[in-house]
Amino acid sequence: MPYTEIKEKNGKKYYYRVKSIRKGEKVNKERVYLGVNLDKKQISEKEIEADKELLYLNNILTDKEIKELDKIQQEYLKQPKENFLNRYEVFTSDFTYNSTAIEGNTLTLQETAQLLFEGITPRKSLREINEIINHKLAFDYLLKYGGDLTKDFICELHKLAVKETLKEELKTQIGCFRNVQVYIRGTDWLPPKPKEVPKEIKSLLFWYSSNKEKLHPLVLTAYFHAAFETIHPFIDGNGRVGRLIMNFILHKNKYPMINIPNTIKHRYYDALESAQIKGDLMPLIKLLFEILKNSKVRF
């Protein structure tokens, strides 16, 4: 995914827009030179032009899709306050169930809802029960949080989502970027090395800050999510935290949140892989658009 790279030489800062392209085990980089010693406004303007060349993000949604998304937003904002609590409980149960089930949690939707809102504990492992409870805690924190995306916010989401779920030797990495290499099952590529993670997250957050007012919220959400999952900054819980952040971006932009059903997780994984390996964000955007359009509960 494109990001801005800064190189310093002889007291000058040279800015490049970079896109990584994976070919087999090798990673090649396309670079677009932005300029030297640029101010924030110049960087933002040049990034837009560079991204047109690298990704065409501004044109990825059709006019028809944008109108449909506007309609979804308008309908969402007109939801009655009287059923807010009901919608909250239903969406929290569905989102928590599906996001944890995607990662292998075996609690059913009914067990999840009963655990979260009735205090009925199923006969499942303590780790799985904690994953469910933690996800709601992280989601509630997200809803109350009044700031924007930062490293500290992301790390706090991770801390809440994985506490009391990791093995003893991994507990020092709760709420911190990983210090070891991680591997992704079912793929032939590797996330960045541990020492590269802070720089990659910093670049992604800079990209977000530069583009949050320029791109459609759905495009912004899809791009950030794909890039975050590519970086895989934590030892565990990257998927759950990534989907929480995805909904934070939508919520902050006054769009309903997305609940990716566990039943279509393979489509979700394929769409992510298309963005990560081919640099093609279209399948992920189309999938998220489809889920938003067909959602019965908008929260």
Residues 197 and 133 in one domain: yes
Q: Please report the pLDDT score of residue 21 as a whole number.
A: 60
Q: Assign 279 a pLDDT band (cuts: 50, 70, 90).
A: confident
Q: Assign 55 a pLDDT band (cuts: 50, 70, 90).
A: low
Q: Assign 3 a pLDDT band (cuts: 50, 70, 90).
A: confident
Residues 23 and 72 in one domain: no
Q: Please report the pLDDT score of residue 210 as a whole number.
A: 83
Q: Please report the pLDDT score of residue 1 as a whole number.
A: 65
Domain span holding position 31: 1-54
Residues 108 and 156 in one domain: yes
Region 278-283: what's the mean pLDDT?
Answer: 89
Is the pLDDT assigned to residue 266 strictly greater than 70?
yes
Residues 76 and 129 in one domain: yes
The verdict on residue 126 lying in a domain is: yes
The verdict on residue 85 lying in a domain is: yes
| Higher pLDDT pick, 190 / 111 | 111
Number of domains in the chain: 2
The verdict on residue 299 lying in a domain is: no
Mapped onto helix, strand or coil, the DSSP state of residue 102 is: helix
Residues 106 and 14 in one domain: no
Q: What is the CATH number of the domain that holds 107?
A: 1.10.3290.10
pTM for this entry: 0.82
Residues 153 and 248 in one domain: yes
Residues 126 and 250 in one domain: yes
The verdict on residue 12 lying in a domain is: yes
Structure-token match 């970086």, residue found? 231
The pair of structure tokens assigned to 21 is: 């392209």
Residues 46 and 61 in one domain: no
Q: Please report the pLDDT score of residue 151 as a whole number.
A: 97
